[in-house]
Structure 1
Amino acid sequence: MKINKYIGVLLIVTLFFSCEAYLDKEQDFEGLQEEDVFGDILTAKYFLDGAYGKLITDVSAKGNSADYLPDMTMSGEGYPGRLNNNVPEIYNYYAQGDYLSLMNWNKNNGQAPNFVVRYYEAWKGIRIVNSFLENVDLITNSNEEEINGLKGQAYFLRAFFYHLLTKRHGGLIYLKNNLDLNEPLDRARETYASNYANIIEDVNLAIDLLPIRWKSENVGRPTKGAAMALKSRASLFAASPLVNTTNDKQAWIDAATAASDLINFANNNGLYALADASAAATLDVGHNGADLFVSEPEAMKPYRSIFVGPGISKVIPNEVIFMEVNQSIIAAGGFLHPEPRLALTVGFDIIKGNGGPMNIGATANFIAKYETKNGLAIEDDPSYNPQEPFINRDPRFYNDILFDGVPWKATSAGAVNKTGFTDLAFVNEQGKRGLDLVDPTIAGALLWKVRNTTGLRIRKWIPNGLNWRGGWNGDFDFHINNNIFRMAEIYLNYAEAANEAYGPGGVAPGASLSALDAVNKIRNRVGMPNVNATYAGSTDKLRERIRNERAIELAYEGHRYTDMRRWKTAHLDENQKVEFLEMRWQGEESSIYPTGFSYDYVDQADKRKTFTDRHYWWPIPSSESEVAPSFTQTTGW
């Protein structure tokens, strides 16, 4: 029987008869007999490797393509400032609530949002995994340990594919065996609960089979810890209000246990230590403070190294459990460097004028979530002055957000702003529009077709000094880590679940931390004080502070849109509005304007997001239910 008899892309007829190859490596297997592919451990491994190319996570891209509607714009963390390539148009489909048009977007269009491509690619990945698992017993020239490692990867991948699909679309059909072409297309969609049970079953198999560490030639493949992290993430989603509509405490207990198990596992095996940037408590970021206008504050470097760093050689930071490997090696400027996907999904202004970056700027209403260094929300701290909003903030603010006046090297030979300083003022000291905003009617701005629109930029993923001069020539001696799972998320998962299950001071069985302890651990390691007692007196109060902590710690990492959906808070006014920061020079410093600038949060009514109850679950492409009516469209669509 030929290997290409088996098809697992359910209900997508165009794929049943397409000549499209599933993966470059997989092309080599077309027409081969099963025993030819799976009789040898090496070819069987290559076959399974094809599934990795289909795994488009929230920090991945298809190939080297940009994501034209990344999580951070849907969540309101940022807004795209690209003037061409239909970026505003795609955002507007989302903002207006037209999710069905987005899901029906031509997946082969280079501007298709990643989650559209993910829908199709995930089914292809599931097909590869199922073909491997159906035939793994044919491998004869290997040992049990090696085969178990491959099985563990397969179960991990299948669980991950389904988590990525079901967290957005709800219950689908959990295929553990591929369909025969002669099988009728009359399968009905299953419930989310059913799919989730299968995800947990697969991920538990992966945990049992995967090694604690891989030998050097396999570094980058999922480990036991990665599978445990996936279990923690999936179980937290299943425990959340979107799914757990009755607030069943057992679901929260299961999520707390999954996170606690990984924390204990990491501690017992000397793995995944949080980066220690506690010295950031000493940052001098007051009015004209010595560290306020510093590109990369020294005290924050242990934390910053989780995300970006100098040198092309990547070393997985101790905090990172699983990261996306660099896809390719490109010759540039006379040396080889690993392509870093240009900061997650090519969504940031690293290379102005390049076809991919959209110059996503931070939104003013999102940065308002960063506390003061005193550990208080800005509205609760009497020392906070909205006319000097950048001083004395949570140290992570100075890692994540690039604001006016911070020294920053030009990111391309054609950059409009070549001053070496970020100029984001709506009206600067010269009475002109800031060079990083730039009037779009100016010819130079139109030439590069990219500008900042929000009055703030994202520092977290931009290596200071990366410079693109044209072609593959430039200063590329930097690396960017596309982190899929890191330990900070697990502590926050535990804090949220334990708070719901046991209260702020309760401890899950077998755990050593309370919910409050866990969130304080995340805060203290960047020099922030413990959660203020004002916010820690009850489950309800601590819930809000944990949610805020997730927003800050995991900012721009592809978590927030899912978080707002699972909490069922995406419809709230605070999460639908979009505000930009407008700075205007007032002529001189004064008691009212300590920096000489006025600062205003300006609502962008035309960019406001539409979000109703039906938007909590995404539709599937219309072609699915048209081809197989039993595979019904998502409720409300």
Structure 2
Amino acid sequence: MKTRIYTFALICISFFTSCEDYLDKQQDFEGLDESDVFEDIRLAKNALDAAYSYLITDVSAPGQGGDWLPNMTMAGEGYPGRLWQTFPQTYPIYAQGDYVSLINMPPYNANGTPVGSTPNFTFRYFDSWKGIRAINTFLANVDNINNGTEEEINGLIGQAYFLRAFFYHLLTKRHGGLIYLKENLQLDSSLDHERESYQSNLADMLEDLDQATNFLPVAWESEDVGRPTKGAAMALKSRLTLFAASPLVNESNDQQAWIDAATAASDLINYANDNGLYTLIDASAANTIDVDHNGDDLFLMETEELEPYRSIFIGPGIQKTIPSEVIFSEVNQKFFVFGAIVSPTPRHTLTAGWDHLRGNGSPMSIGALANFVDKFETKNGLAIADDPDYNPQEPFINRDPRFYNAILFDGVTDLIVDPNAWNLTGVVDLAQVNEEGNLGLNLHDPGGNPNLFWRVRNLTGLRIKKWLPNGARWSGAGGRNHHVNNNIFRMSEVYLNYAEAANEAYGPNGAVPGSSLTALQAINMIRNRVGMPNVNAAYTGSKALLRERIRNERAIELCFEGIRYDDMRRWKIAHLEENKKVEFLEMRWQGSESSLYPTGFSFENVEQSQLTKTFDEKHYWWPIPNSEIEAVPTFLQTEGW
């Protein structure tokens, strides 16, 4: 008889399974029993490190691959350009609202190998429970360590509490309340559990984070850099409390929830200032780049003035320094079998599947959506609809400097061209019809060989530059001599969290008691550091007006970082028509430059009605796998599913 096992119980998962630990080392526990492991500080540390291998954040790459349905696609920031295999075919399942099929996709086959077409959030559900089991086993045995210092043991305890809260955050933000296991279920435990409320799980997560904050250090010694710190625990608390204060959870708009969220962010800001930590990188000179019509900097892949800001995300050389504003980042994985080359996965392979990765049989290739890119203001600090100087027939000029960090558009030069590239011109060509009357070289030719559909560079007319170092490519000397920072928490988000919560609790010019920083000042700090002016007065006259600007600012500052999808959910705006539609930018050569077409091209946002997303009330909370309900009927399915 086939027996189904309840995932959260993880009865069939052996704690002593050999796995890849946090620092990419193998620890073999064969021949050891539990008491042997937890008497020794080194083995206990390696046992806890096993939990990191199960941590699939919104920037993680299980199996060193990409994600078959990443947040940036679900959030309407981008759309997949690859037609080969089944990657885009995962999108219609999501767009049609069939979340049950998505969450029930098998994460692993019978041999334990990841199933390539399964989205990361399915892996995340199952693997989070494995991580929670590893943590609970550690906490149940930590008192047995007999050869570690108090500082060493406290550091391990702090990591365990942080990780348990993080795993539960990843689970509950999508599925709602589950069951908060602080001890592992035994083989003879009753499996008649009922789901708890989100608020109950939230209280437990916050309790774990308070413990983590008490035990974790301000910083780690060099050999442990990259592990969570007090600041990371405080950053997760800020993210959690903001989620709980938002309309999705806080249906009655209880002001205390907003006060709690503003206070959590304020506490971290004060902590960072007091300890000289997590300072915003100054890229205010970016407002001097010449991006006017045919400006000297308009089509450059890199500009000196913008480099400090780009360094938060990418940089040359495999050796890197953690940017000053990064609070917690994912340790880079290796790039398949290429020795010690730092891997840019997952963001690079997700967003850069064009000439740079020529030779890769399955580049993910996410293209930015035109209707999302319209959220970037002009350099004047106005929405494009409000700026009389903005010309939709010349959409790439004089935009927020962050536009030139995040978006790759037609005409940008790539200074290093792979000799095997599809486009050997060294210029990004995304036009539907270019100057020669041909399809853009970075676009797919509908009349081409279907066997070459994997070479599709773009469908949307815009690409993502944020995670694309200049010259990065699959092969050739120096092609992998770069790094990408998979940031999980950075200080920009904390200031934006503060701005949002403080605005809701105290208004645009209000501040948390004891703090001098207002909501408006917090958002202006994020803008000013890239040379953008303060929020225009037209958007600051009321809580409601500033709310919309703060939301837009989050979209721009945090774009393609795996945050917007959950922002849209917590704000309960994902069902709005403007957030369900998909628009591509169509760019066609008109024969010559003219007053109507200053570049000689016409530009038009074209809605792709066949890609419009279905989003109803039930889609705000995801279902759990059917196997859970079959194993334990009292553990009810998410409401609406």
Normalized against structure 1, the TM-score is what?
A: 0.95
5 Å matches for 1:381-420? 381-409=387-415, 412-420=418-426
Q: 1:84 to 1:403 in 2, by over 3 A?
A: same
Query: Aligned partner of 1:608: which letter?
Result: T
Q: Deviations along 1:2-38, whole A, 9 cap, x unmatched? A: xxxxxxx982299533689473469733663222010
1:438 aligns with 2:444: yes
5 Å matches for 1:30-109? 32-108=32-108, 109=115
5 Å matches for 1:185-584? 185-328=191-334, 332=338, 336-343=340-347, 346-349=350-353, 350-409=356-415, 412-443=418-449, 446=452, 448-469=454-475, 475-584=479-588
CA distance in 2, matches of 1:368, 1:555: 13
* Other structure's SS at 1:154 match: helix
* Other structure's SS at 1:385 match: coil
C-alpha displacement of 1:61: 1.4
Conservation of the 8 A alpha-carbon contact between 1:413 and 1:468 = no
Conservation of the 8 A alpha-carbon contact between 1:498 and 1:504 = yes
Corresponding position of 1:4: none
Corresponding position of 1:636: 640
CA distance in 2, matches of 1:356, 1:231: 37
Q: Deviations along 1:464-490, whole A, 9 cap, x unmatched? A: 1012128xx762111100000000000
CA distance in 2, matches of 1:601, 1:227: 42
Normalized against structure 2, the TM-score is what?
A: 0.94
Query: Aligned partner of 1:496: which letter?
Result: E
CA distance in 2, matches of 1:347, 1:92: 19
Conservation of the 8 A alpha-carbon contact between 2:624 and 2:637 = yes
Q: 1:330 to 1:24 in 2, by over 3 A?
A: closer
* 413-422 or 94-103, larger mean C-alpha shift: 413-422
* 432-441 or 126-135, larger mean C-alpha shift: 432-441
The runs of 5 or more residues in structure 1 that have no matched partner are: 1-8
Corresponding position of 2:596: 592
Q: 1:193 to 1:14 in 2, by over 3 A?
A: closer
Task: Give me the identity figure in percent.
Answer: 65
Q: 1:411 to 1:326 in 2, by over 3 A?
A: farther
Query: Aligned partner of 1:113: which letter?
Result: P
5 Å matches for 1:59-208? 59-108=59-108, 109-208=115-214
Q: Deviations along 1:419-451, whole A, 9 cap, x unmatched? A: 100000010000011000130432398164432
The runs of 5 or more residues in structure 2 that have no matched partner are: 109-114
Conservation of the 8 A alpha-carbon contact between 1:155 and 1:202 = yes
Q: 1:117 to 1:330 in 2, by over 3 A?
A: closer
C-alpha displacement of 1:85: 2.3
CA distance in 2, matches of 1:17, 1:35: 20
What is the count of residue pairs matched by the alignment?
625
- RMSD of the TM alignment (CA)? 1.9
1:604 aligns with 2:608: yes
CA distance in 2, matches of 1:594, 1:149: 60
CA distance in 1, matches of 2:34, 2:143: 11
Corresponding position of 2:19: 23
C-alpha displacement of 1:296: 1.1
Conservation of the 8 A alpha-carbon contact between 1:228 and 1:262 = yes
CA distance in 2, matches of 1:155, 1:14: 19
CA distance in 1, matches of 2:395, 2:513: 43
* 546-555 or 13-22, larger mean C-alpha shift: 13-22
CA distance in 1, matches of 2:145, 2:600: 72
Conservation of the 8 A alpha-carbon contact between 2:568 and 2:574 = yes
Conservation of the 8 A alpha-carbon contact between 1:64 and 1:341 = yes
CA distance in 2, matches of 1:322, 1:582: 39
Q: Deviations along 1:276-322, whole A, 9 cap, x unmatched? A: 01011112111111111111121110000000001110110001001
C-alpha displacement of 1:129: 0.3
* Other structure's SS at 1:511 match: coil
CA distance in 1, matches of 2:258, 2:73: 29
CA distance in 2, matches of 1:412, 1:169: 44
* Other structure's SS at 1:366 match: helix
* Other structure's SS at 2:125 match: helix
CA distance in 1, matches of 2:240, 2:417: 38
CA distance in 1, matches of 2:226, 2:623: 33
Q: 1:515 to 1:607 in 2, by over 3 A?
A: same
Conservation of the 8 A alpha-carbon contact between 1:468 and 1:474 = no
